[in-house]
Amino acid sequence: MNFQLIGVNHNTAPLEVREKLAISACRVPGLLQELLQSPDVIGGLILSTCNRVELMAETRNGGADLRQFLRESCGMAAELEPYLYEYHQADAIHHLFRVAASLDSMVVGEPQILGQVKEAYAIARTAGAIGSQLDQLIMRAFAVAKRIRTETAVGASAVSLASVAVELAEKIFGSLEDKQVYLVGAGEMSELAARHLMDRGASSVLVSSCSYDRAKDVANAINAKAIRFEELYDTCHLADIVITATSAPHAVFRREHGELFLKRRQYRPMFFIDISVPRNVDPEMNKVEGIFVYDMDDLQQMVADHVANRRKESERAEAIVAAEVARFQADLQTLDVAPMIILLKEKMENIRLAEIRHVRGRLGQLSAEQESAIEALTRGIVNKLMHYPISALKDAARDAGAGALLPVVERLFNIPDEDKDQSYRGRNSLTCAGTKREDSSRRVRVA
């Protein structure tokens, strides 16, 4: 069993590369089904956010060619491959734990990424793409993120891309008290930005989204005004600052829009802060005199200040991640010997029951108390005899030595091949059945 992870993020690829690889949520189930067609893939998960696109897979045998999958199914151009990173086994586990704990985020400690990982997990489960060990890995990633939030101050005074964007707007103008702000997009990031803007004293906020009902929900929550999306270009010139955070696969604002807005504003300057991937604001807008565009890459320097302030807590969090990776690997290795342990217990139990049946005729009529004593006696003998072999198997698994010990145990206890095959098949079918039952009871969105 293997874990593989491939992707790009804000550390390895500029924005123009990340937006080319961005995958919309509606495409994910279909892509996961394509991924599962590979005979070497057991399960997978796709995480696509403004700062990363990653594919995590549980594979068998020698693993799967995830680069080839990105080329064929996601249409990745050859020139983008140098920006990819690829991790296997412990490195893949380590990376996922860091991502879920927000240690790999542009803004270390921001709380949104854990929700995004949970949403990606829910989509993958609904698509039937989560294998048993991948499920355990992701559950452990959630637990690690919670532990880091509890035991360190990485998430204290939490910042987010939305708050950094608002901080940038405040630095541009000095004060937001008399400034009109326009939020384009009504997702979680926009709502966070709106709340930060109101806290910083913005005089008024307009909210527009392709879902007018969602725009109204955000506007009502912060005492702002909702604008229908079809009225966006007729009203956008009213804003001094425009913050865009939509999932549109193309530019919402182009150069000609900027020129029109400036004319309507009598050439008063206008600032666009684009926290979307793909970008909502065409970089050509920056060439219009009086229009100033800031995108995700422009926020990096401000983010660096937050990272420096959190360095000590981040070091504590990294130590927790390293310990949890080692612990998870040990647990996985112990699972490798679980079928043999089950087989040994079943074999010893069958021997115990057979011996009781063999002598029962010579014991005469037994009272309930005597029956209970025989049961306790024989069970105790079997448990004590099996304690050291089972402990040795578990220790060998943790030390990656189970491969050498298992054949010895099979010979010592005379475990025939057909029993081994049946045990492994039984364990796998139980795992699959359990996964299916859990799937049907957890179809609701993971919050």
Does one domain contain both 133 and 177? no
Instruction: Say how far apart CA 294 and CA 1 lie, in whole Å.
Output: 44
Q: Residue 25's domain spans which residues?
A: 2-155+310-332
Helices (H), 159-268: 161-173, 188-199, 212-222, 232-235, 255-264
For residue 320, is it within any domain? yes
- Residue where the block lists tokens 């005379």: 414
pLDDT < 50 stretches in the chain: 423-447
CATH number of the domain within which 115 lies: 3.30.460.30
Q: pLDDT of 115-166, one tens digit each?
A: 999 999 999 999 999 988 899 999 999 999 999 988 988 776 556 677 777 7
Count of beta carbons in the 10 Å neighbourhood of residue 225: 14
Please count the structural domains in the chain. Answer: 2
For residue 412, is it within any domain? no
Answer for the pair 297, 33: CB distance below 8 angstroms, yes or no. no
CATH number of the domain within which 244 lies: 3.40.50.720
Does one domain contain both 197 and 269? yes
Would you state the pLDDT for residue 115?
Answer: 92
Does one domain contain both 147 and 28? yes
Please report the sign of the dihedral spanned by the C-alpha atoms of residue 6, residue 12, residue 13, residue 15. Answer: positive
For residue 169, is it within any domain? yes
Q: How far is CA 22 from CA 87, 249, 374, in A?
A: 20, 9, 66
Residues shown for the chain: 447
For residue 424, is it within any domain? no
Answer for the pair 112, 158: CB distance below 8 angstroms, yes or no. no
In order, the DSSP letters of 369-417 are HHHHHHHHHHHHHHHHHHHHHHHHHHHHHHTT-HHHHHHHHHHHTT--H
**Catalytic machinery residues:** 50
Burial class (CB in 10 A: 0-12, 13-18, 19+), 374: middle
For residue 386, is it within any domain? no
For residue 365, is it within any domain? no
Does one domain contain both 17 and 125? yes
Does one domain contain both 317 and 302? no
pTM of the model: 0.65
Does one domain contain both 52 and 94? yes
For residue 21, is it within any domain? yes
Does one domain contain both 243 and 324? no
Which residue, of 280, 298, 332, is where some domain finishes?
A: 332
Does one domain contain both 165 and 151? no
Does one domain contain both 268 and 315? no
Does one domain contain both 71 and 165? no
Select from 271, 243, 256, 298 the least CA-distant residue to 10.
298
For residue 409, is it within any domain? no
